[in-house]
Amino acid sequence: MTSSGQRSVGPLAGLRVLEIAGIGPAPYASLLLAELGADVVRIDRPAAVGAAPEPSDALNRSRPSVAIDLKQPDGRDLVLRMVRGADVLIEGLRPGVMERLGLGPEHCADVNDRLIYGRMTGWGQDGPLSHTAGHDITYAALTGALHATGGSDKPRNALNLIGDFGGGTMFLLLGILSALHERTRSGRGQVVDAAMVDGAASLMTMMFGMHAVGSWRDEREANLLDGGTPFYDTYRCRDGRFVAVGALEPQFFAELMKQLELDFDQDDVAGWPRMRAAMAKRFAERDRDEWAAVFEGTDACVAPVLGLEEAPLHPHVAAREVFVPYAGGYQPRVAPVFSRTPALRPGDKHVPGEDSRAVLVSVGLSAEEIDALIAAGTVRQS
């Protein structure tokens, strides 16, 4: 296996990962592992070679791609050969697909019983819905997360952050890293069944806890964190742009009132409608950036709501290099920040099959073997 060409200096240097190409949370997990220093190889379908780039192409950065036909016996055998030297395999196909290809957990364990087999699906490997299609919004819908998100008029999905990337990617990575730690004691691999519906539900832990004791109403814009309070909401400014207010604690609320030159009792729930109206009127008197200057450096917990073109340029965000210049725009760098083993910067995007020869050479195949696999259509080099 080979890396993207960047020197693996991150905290996961030396970890070897195979990724069966898919969409959404599994590729994002592989990207994060790669930029944390892991040696990740993406296995694409030959049919993807030469295809038009997908809108989610940015998720293909920082790791090489080899195009292998998994439906051919030689393709399956080639992947199993790669599995022998891997620590982790990540796949995001529907339950049963990898088994039918002869690459399921049992097949891989036969050649490498230390392998951590990460499975990323929406509904999980079992259950009544496990074989049906879905997307982030449907997984969020069944967990209460979608019901709790949006305005009073209707639920609104928070992009695909709840199911795909929060409930999916992050819990897949948590499972993989936990299994790797356990392997240091047992010496054995295991299967990680990461389901977006499970992760999205876990993200709702605090809300379900508050609901159980009567401190969270089961409706939108009626609670502390969903726009139900005037001091935790967004407000339109004179120029049509917005500021975000998050003055929950009494001392922060006091600072908010001071800067707005208003005088309201935070605990007077009956007075909240008047407070909200007064705050809306006051924020509408100035442009967003004028208010940003007013609140800069205060503890009122007020921030300008920035667009995608603005966010990378904010002084604090820029100082921490949260975003880095990339392909004519910006990309977020991997988080968090490490003191001794810094993560890699975002690497190049690799199109399907771009690195087929280089990857197979690193696995130990000869030039003749690679030529034969390409001639048979088992492998494609873009």
**Residue given tokens 């009626």 in the structure block:** 222
Per the residue annotation, which of 44, 87, 136, 164 is the catalytic one?
A: 164
198 catalytically annotated: no
Q: Please state whether beta strands 116-121 and 232-236 pair in parallel, antiparallel, or not at all (unpaired).
A: unpaired
Write the DSSP string, 271-308: GHHHHHHHHHHHHTTS-HHHHHHHHTTSSS-EEE---T
> By the 8 A CB rule, do 229 and 275 touch?
no
Q: What distance lies between CA 279 and its chain's CA centroid?
A: 35
> By the 8 A CB rule, do 350 and 4 touch?
yes
Instruction: List the one residue out of 32, 35, 1 whose CA is nearest residue 18.
Output: 1
Per the residue annotation, which of 135, 147, 211, 314 is the catalytic one?
A: 135
φ, ψ (nearest 5 deg) of residue 338: -110, 145
140 contacts: CB under 8 Å, gap ≥ 6:
146, 149, 157, 158, 162, 163, 167, 200
CA angle 48, 308, 11 (to 5 degrees): 65
Residue 195, beta-bridge partner list: 121
164 catalytically annotated: yes
Q: Report the catalytic residues.
A: 135, 164
